[in-house]
Homo-oligomer: A and B are copies of this chain.
Amino acid sequence: MSLPQEESRIDRRTAILDAAEEQFAAYGYDGVTLRAIAKKAGVDLALPNYYFGPKRDLFDAVLMRRAEILNAARLAQLDECIASSNGTPSVENIIRAFLRPLLTGEHVSEQGWKNYYALIAYVNNSPEWGGRLMTQFFDPVIQKFIDALRLAMPEVEARDIYWAYHFLSGALTLTFAQTGRLDTLSGGLCRSDDLTDAFEHMVRFTTAGFETFRSGQKKRRPR
């Protein structure tokens, strides 16, 4: 229904991907019906299947669309970061290279990117999807960031760096999820949709987290 003139002029494939992205991000794969997607996109119920095949393939298509853009942007930032540091960048600058693409240009202003990030939060934390899809779409690029981090901290064991990346990933994706919990918990002091504030804090927190593994051995519990 509705949006008869304007919406039907723009590409229907894009409209379907946008609507699916928004709905999947908000309610998860099984919480969304093709009927809801078609309605949101302003297209006929039969069109999602016509363009993308079964529901599962539509989900993959949504995920892939922006993953490629994000991966390219991150690689460019990483290359620049390495080049401008004569081969051994700082941990902080690697983390900034990892996060900066999320903050540039349309990524902050466009609702589509916000929806996509919330979808990543869903996928990354899903036992059902997380292992397969994050590995497939993102880990080739993540591996290059890990390589750079190993170069930046050659004295740190690889295991420690993988764990630290894991925590960074968790912190980042919870921020993506936009649940509003932090806003309530902090009594309004923190606004989880203020991405600039979120990322400045995240850079400080996670840089310190990575750097702490420089100081050798595991402590045995005090108390």
Query: Which one of B81, B166, B205 contacts A164 once the chains associate, using CB atoms below 8 Å?
Result: B205
Known: A185-B139, A208-B209. A130 touches B163 (CB 8 A): no
**Interface residues on chain A, number (Cβ under 8 Å):** 78
Q: CB distance A96 to B223 under 8 Å?
A: yes
Q: CB distance A126 to B122 under 8 Å?
A: yes
Q: Which residues of B contact A169 (CB under 8 A)?
A: 174
Known: A93-B223, A127-B25, A127-B26. A166 touches B189 (CB 8 A): no
Contacts A96-B221, A166-B174 aside, 10 further interface pairs with beta carbons under 8 A come to A26-B127, A30-B31, A31-B128, A93-B222, A131-B180, A166-B182, A167-B170, A169-B174, A170-B172, A208-B211
> A residues touching B (Cβ–Cβ < 8 Å)?
25-31, 81, 84, 92-93, 96, 118, 121-122, 124-131, 134-135, 139, 142-143, 146, 158-160, 162-175, 177-182, 184-186, 189-190, 192, 197-198, 200-202, 204-213, 218-219, 221-223
